[in-house]
């Protein structure tokens, strides 16, 4: 795996934190990622490269799901606030109409 496509500070795939220099994977990077075959006498891909890449994909997916969950919580808060506001306005309107 070349250094350009690897997450900083995780050459061995150990840490899962993000540094300020970390850039999230883009869909085209996942689609175009190719792994180097292992050496003589073995078949398949280098497991270290595959696991390091899968770790990076998992970290990015976790970030996306966390952002999605936060967005859904914010949407629920906004909807609840809007409902309260509309209820308050309807009550005020009804009280004005009854006072006439």
Is 40 exposed, middle or buried (CB count within 10 Å of its CB: 0-12, 13-18, 19+)? exposed
CA distance 9 to 85: 49
Sign (positive/negative) of CA torsion 64, 68, 73, 75? positive
Query: Please, are residues 36 and 45 in contact by the beta-carbon 8 Å criterion?
Result: yes
Structure tokens given for 30: 């996942």
| pLDDT, tens digit (0-9, with 9 covering 90-100), for 36-55 | 888 777 788 888 888 888 98
Q: Which whole number is the average pLDDT over 46-66?
A: 89
With 60 as the cut, is the pLDDT of residue 81 above it? yes
Q: Which whole number is the average pLDDT over 80-97?
A: 95
């Amino acid at each position: 795996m070349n250094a350009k496509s690897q997450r900083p500070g995780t050459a061995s795939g150990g840490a899962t934190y993000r540094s300020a220099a970390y850039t999230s994977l883009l869909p085209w990077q996942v689609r175009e990622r190719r792994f180097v075959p292992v050496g003589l006498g073995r078949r398949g891909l280098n497991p270290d490269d595959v696991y390091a890449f899968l770790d990076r994909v998992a970290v990015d997916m976790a970030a996306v799901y966390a952002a999605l969950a936060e967005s859904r919580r914010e949407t629920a808060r906004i909807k609840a606030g809007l409902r309260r506001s509309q209820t308050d306005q309807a009550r005020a309107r009804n009280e004005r109409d009854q006072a006439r």
